[in-house]
């Protein structure tokens, strides 16, 4: 379902679903990063930064979160290219 939200640009729905999925697994770096992308797209960059930082705390080598931390400083950043590295939380089951 997150993948469908991503593909359709449904950022509010992606945020809501991601937050729901985080309840039982609050340290899941992929989910934290997915919610971070959603709020990043909703132009809430400080909040997005907190999600990416938490993902990195839980998984220090989480490449998408590290990349997105750089994106939030660079308005021309392409997060689609960033997440092509790894998107397991966004894959269909």
pLDDT at 6: 83
Alpha-carbon span 72 to 65, nearest angstrom: 11
C-beta of residue 29 within 8 angstroms of C-beta of residue 59: yes
pLDDT at 76: 53
C-beta of residue 49 within 8 angstroms of C-beta of residue 70: no
pLDDT at 54: 96
CATH topology of domain 2-87: 1.25.40
Per-residue pLDDT tens digits for 5-43: 988 889 999 999 999 999 999 999 999 999 999 999 998
pTM of the model: 0.77
Alpha-carbon span 13 to 16, nearest angstrom: 5
Per-residue pLDDT tens digits for 37-83: 999 999 898 899 999 999 999 999 988 888 888 775 555 555 554 44
The ranges assigned to domains in the chain are 2-87
Alpha-carbon span 88 to 73, nearest angstrom: 25
Q: Give the chain's end-to-end CA distance (angstroms, integer).
A: 9
């Amino acid at each position: 379902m997150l993948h469908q939200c991503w593909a359709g640009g449904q950022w509010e729905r992606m945020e809501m679903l991601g937050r729901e999925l985080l309840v039982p697994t609050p340290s899941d770096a992929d989910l934290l990063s997915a919610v971070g992308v959603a709020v990043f797209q909703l132009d809430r960059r400080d909040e997005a930064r907190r999600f990416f930082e938490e993902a990195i705390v839980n998984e220090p080598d989480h490449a998408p979160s590290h990349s997105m931390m750089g994106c939030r400083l660079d308005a021309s950043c392409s997060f689609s290219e960033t997440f092509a590295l790894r998107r397991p939380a966004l894959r269909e089951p």
